[in-house]
Amino acid sequence: MFKIFISIYLIIFFTTNIFASSTYSNISLTFKEKEWIKNNPKVSIALSRDFPPFSYKENGKLKGLTIDVINKIGKLTGLTFKTESSTWTTSLNNFKSGRVEIISDISYTKKREAFTLFTKPYYEIPNFIFGLKEDKSYKDKNSLIGKTLAVTRGIFYIDEINKAGINTLEVDSVVDKPKVVIEGKADYFVSAYTKGIKIIKQNSLTNFKVIDEFDRIKKEDLRFGVNPNNPLLYSIIKKALDKISSEELNSIVNKWITISQDSSNYKNINFTEEEKAYLRTKPILKYSEINWKPLSIIENNEMQGILGDFLKIVSIRSGLKFQFVPSKSWKDVLDKFKEGKIDLIPAVTSYKDKNVKGLLSKMYSKFPMVIITGSKYSYVNNLNDLKNKVIAVPKYYTSYNFIKKNYPNIKILETSNIQEALILVEKGKADAFVGHIATSIFYISLLHLNDLKISGSTLFDFEHHYLVQKNNPILLSIINKTIDSITQKEKKEIYSNWIQTTVKEKAIDYKILIIILLITLLIIIGFLYRQYFLKKYNSKLENSYRNIQSIINSTLEAIILTEDRVCIDANDSALKLFNLSKKEIIGLDYLEFVPDEEKQKVKESFLNNTSEPFEVNILTSDKKVIPTLGRGTNLKLDNKIIRISSIIDLSEVKDKEKLLIEQSKMAALGEMIGHIAHQWRQPLSIITTISSSWSIYEQIGKFNKEKVLEDSKQIVLNANYLSQTIDDFRSFIKGGEETKEFNIKELIENLSRLISSSLQSAQVKYLFDNTLDKNVKGNQNEVLQVLINIINNAIDALTENKKDGDRFLFIKVTQDKDTICVSIKDNANGIPENIMNKIYEPYFTTKHESNGTGLGLYMAYSIVKKMGGEISVSNVEYEHESKKYKGANFLVSLKCVG
């Protein structure tokens, strides 16, 4: 029973301590802030009832941009807001008097600091001057000197206007502003652009117009103001507002506000009679795009983002109506256009697919095509610097077509989307990604690819155009005229709304089931023990807690808990291993414990739910490198991924391993001398035989100069082989060999020259079948050593097992796709099956110690594996010259080059 209790307690302890903040996991609230929300769930807030499109009443219901932001804050914090809507003047007085705790849509001024704690702005509105259409006196801003402007009572910019020599008339409501102008009490009125336009439209004030932007005063920055006597509430609202991502805020803004337009531009667009007739037909034009953030963001069958904002301007200023048609891919978009299923594509470049015929509009936006790389490239001058490198790009994208046409020496790794391409560069599977600067920045931030950077630019710019069906030149003309009306200022506003490097954090939901389960367990345990052991419960609980902590801290393994790679807890072994205190280690990024060359391995491990144990070097606080064995497991609770990593210090193991390796090398030196002697036997015999034969030929008077020259070549070849054998075995023990391309045909010819005398001396009939003229990459001498080892073993087997009868050795070279295979087959009756799987083990031999050391095939196996090849053996039965034979067939497979 006690064991069960301990198990349940362990679950509860770790869960409640590690995930105690799950209720407010969306934002990092302090204990005091959580308690304040618990004790004050409903907060009063003052709102304007006539401030469209930010907060206003329609059919008795408050709505607007500010209302949506407040609702978002409520979801993030759990707060409920009691709204009190009135005129701005009344709202401000209620806030100053303390009747409400928060006020919305307040702008910062130095005077207001005395009674307001300001949040950051959630929107900024340009202010405009509005006046009667019949007014001809306004020339520029100086025309306002001595004139009277109607303004909202208590508005923040009154003093600025008066300092400029302009009179002000304060009114209580936005609706009163045009009224006092009509009555002649004021010459003009000042209002935020969106608000002024809405008042004019709602009240059918057709005799009013937009005069000019009033840039003498700063934009109206909309903020939340909190009573300075309530700093906890201010901190909660501030944190919640900071948590709302720019993408979420832009989505709210785009719901309520269309892109600001300068009426002096679009109202003066001179459409021809033919174009006006086309517009009167009110055609619904179909278009399609894919998610290409932040250029195009497809949500709920609508396009937002940079392209969406430009399309809104075209729609508003021309009267054209557009309908979105979803597509699966960019190729699908192009196919729909070719098949006439859509009328236009919102964004193509002048470098468009030649197979897609259409009319290209004027350029409305331009961005550079940039080169994204990892840390191994500090700077890339242009695409010529990436010759023979691998670039990952999505197929059919502009960058794909551009590289394919202009840089044929660059290897393209095709992907299905931008995210996949960037991740391949991050993992080192591609050297670079080439693409749009806006999308590159967006996805690098979104995917947390901190090792990627913009390393250079191409000579190409993405010039965005509309592509219109070739049978619709009138539509093209209308779009071109609308594009001409868009100012540089408006373009900058659009870009600033969408192009930024803020990293979007993952939204987190809650798993109520787990919380309920834990609470239920606590209630059950508490109920049972309260009935019988109430007085003893607290002491037992404290003892259990101390025991659990002791058990965890007594483990040899270092245990670290991380969330999003940030350390949230660690045991004593981990603190000792990294030479840090618990206070120092909590909050550190896990990658700070890892050297740069190991970071990619650790990142990949973090992506797996449960990783296999792997060796990794770590860094201590004093930058000491320690070899370790690590393993991690992901635990998912309340939609949070907690990584539990266990680490074992391998320093002592590695030191012992190094000592054993050194001892093994020393023991192997004696064996190596015997092996070299085995390799030298045949060449020395050949050299001795040839030199002795010369003396005999001289004595009997048959000395032949040509024979001597031919024999000299054999002596030189065998002498070089003797020298090379020493160098090769010494290099093998040390590790490291020169790697380069060599010709397999030349290698086999060299092999034939070296072993022919040995084969003849052993009375072995041999056949070389080698017509393949291909190159292999590796160390030529090592491959030669492998083949000679196998042949020497075959000669020994033939000599031992074939006392009588023919002895055969067949050497054949073949090619299978990109692999070259060298087959060495004898007729020595094969290798016993019970030792077949042992022949590659070091020091394994069936020969007398005077004839072998057992290292030959072990070294052959190691050499071939090091080159990325394969070596195998099998017993085969075959027929030669109408006779059946049985023997061993060794197969050495190497990768072909070219």
pLDDT at 249: 84
- Do both 73 and 107 map to the same domain? yes
Identity at 749, one-letter amino acid code: E
Q: Are 787 and 745 in contact (CB under 8 A)?
A: no
- Do both 593 and 613 map to the same domain? yes
Q: Average pLDDT, stretch 742-757?
A: 81
Give me the CATH number covering residue 365: 3.40.190.290
- Do both 882 and 830 map to the same domain? yes
Of residues 813 and 277, more confidence is placed in 813
Q: Average pLDDT, stretch 462-475?
A: 91
pLDDT at 5: 38
Name the residue range of residue 139's domain. 127-218
Q: How far apart are CA 864 and CA 530, in angstroms?
A: 71
- Show the beta-strand stretches assigned E in 374-507: 390-394, 411-415, 432-436, 453-468
- Do both 575 and 597 map to the same domain? yes
The tens digit of pLDDT for each residue in 693-710 reads: 777 877 777 777 777 788
- Do both 275 and 250 map to the same domain? no
Considering the domain boundaries, does residue 19 fall inside one?
no
Identity at 854, one-letter amino acid code: G
Of residues 832 and 856, more confidence is placed in 832
Q: How far apart are CA 107 and CA 889, in angstroms?
A: 88
Query: Which residues, including other chains, have CB under 8 Å from residue 606's CB and lie 6 or more apart?
Result: 565, 590, 632, 643
Band (pLDDT 50/70/90 cuts) for residue 79 is very high
* Count of domains forming the chain: 5
Considering the domain boundaries, does residue 509 fall inside one?
no
- Do both 208 and 284 map to the same domain? no
Q: Is 2's pLDDT higher than 60?
A: no
| β-strand pairing of 127-132 with 188-192 | antiparallel
Considering the domain boundaries, does residue 1 fall inside one?
no
Q: How far apart are CA 333 and CA 335, in angstroms?
A: 5
The tens digit of pLDDT for each residue in 393-440 reads: 998 788 888 888 889 999 999 998 889 999 999 999 999 999 888 888
Q: How far apart are CA 431 and CA 196, in angstroms?
A: 54
User: SS3 of 649, please?
Assistant: strand
pLDDT at 548: 58
Band (pLDDT 50/70/90 cuts) for residue 564 is confident
Considering the domain boundaries, does residue 5 fall inside one?
no
Q: Is 824's pLDDT higher than 90?
A: yes
- Do both 120 and 147 map to the same domain? no
Query: Which residues, including other chains, have CB under 8 Å from residue 720's CB and lie 6 or more apart?
Result: none
Burial (CB count within 10 angstroms: exposed 0-12, middle 13-18, buried 19+), residue 466 = buried
Give me the CATH number covering residue 71: 3.40.190.10
The tens digit of pLDDT for each residue in 218-236 reads: 777 889 999 999 999 999 9
Per-residue buried b or exposed e for 523-540, using 16+ beta carbons within 10 Å of the residue's own CB: eebeeeeeeeeeeeeeee
Q: Which two tokens stand for residue 516?
A: 């309920």
- Do both 680 and 576 map to the same domain? no
Q: Average pLDDT, stretch 824-831?
A: 92
By C-alpha distance, which of 336, 341, 337 is closest to 358?
337
Half-sphere exposure of residue 246: CA atoms within 13 angstroms, side-chain side: 15
**Other Cβ atoms closer than 10 A to 72:** 18
Q: What's the first-to-final CA gap in the chain, in angstroms?
A: 71
How many helices (H) and strands (E) in the chain?
Answer: 27, 37
* pTM metric for this prediction: 0.33
Of residues 18 and 653, more confidence is placed in 653
Considering the domain boundaries, does residue 160 fall inside one?
yes
The tens digit of pLDDT for each residue in 284-325 reads: 999 999 988 888 899 888 898 899 999 989 988 888 999 999
Tell me phi and psi for residue 340, to 5 degrees.
75, 15
- Do both 450 and 338 map to the same domain? yes
The tens digit of pLDDT for each residue in 585-612 reads: 888 888 888 888 888 888 777 777 666 7
- Do both 669 and 582 map to the same domain? no
Q: How far apart are CA 22 and CA 516, in angstroms?
A: 13
**Minimum mean pLDDT among 124-138, 463-477, 672-686, 756-770: which range?**
672-686
CA angle 570, 573, 579 (to 5 degrees): 85
Band (pLDDT 50/70/90 cuts) for residue 53 is confident
The tens digit of pLDDT for each residue in 478-527 reads: 999 999 888 888 888 888 778 754 333 333 344 566 777 778 877 887 76
Query: Which residues, including other chains, have CB under 8 Å from residue 234's CB and lie 6 or more apart?
Result: 117, 119, 226, 228
pLDDT at 732: 47
pLDDT at 369: 85
Considering the domain boundaries, does residue 506 fall inside one?
no
Considering the domain boundaries, does residue 324 fall inside one?
yes
Considering the domain boundaries, does residue 4 fall inside one?
no
Per-residue buried b or exposed e for 354-377, using 16+ beta carbons within 10 Å of the residue's own CB: eeeebbbbeebbebebbbbbbeeb
Give me the CATH number covering residue 712: 3.30.565.10
pLDDT at 26: 59
pLDDT at 820: 93
**Other Cβ atoms closer than 10 A to 893:** 17
Band (pLDDT 50/70/90 cuts) for residue 262 is very low
Angle between helical axes of 246-256 and 488-498 (0-180°, round to 10) = 130
Of the residues 498, 531, 566, the one at which a domain ends = 498
Give me the CATH number covering residue 529: 3.30.450.20
Q: How far apart are CA 383 and CA 389, in angstroms?
A: 10
pLDDT at 533: 61
Of the residues 190, 218, 246, the one at which a domain ends = 218
pLDDT at 719: 83
- Do both 426 and 568 map to the same domain? no
Q: Are 468 and 300 in contact (CB under 8 A)?
A: no
pLDDT at 395: 84
pLDDT at 166: 92
Of residues 350 and 569, more confidence is placed in 569
User: SS3 of 742, please?
Assistant: strand
pLDDT at 13: 38
Q: How far apart are CA 806 and CA 827, in angstroms?
A: 9
Q: How far apart are CA 307 and CA 464, in angstroms?
A: 9
For residue 106, list its beta bridge partners.
Answer: 223
- Do both 363 and 327 map to the same domain? yes
Band (pLDDT 50/70/90 cuts) for residue 41 is confident
Of the residues 620, 649, 678, the one at which a domain ends = 649
User: Is the backbone peptide bond immediately before 294 cis, with ω within 30 degrees of 0?
Assistant: yes
Band (pLDDT 50/70/90 cuts) for residue 17 is very low
pLDDT at 842: 66
Tell the residue number behind the tokens 């003309």, with chain if given.
477
**Minimum mean pLDDT among 333-337, 417-421, 706-710, 721-725: which range?**
721-725
Band (pLDDT 50/70/90 cuts) for residue 16 is very low
User: SS3 of 34, please?
Assistant: helix
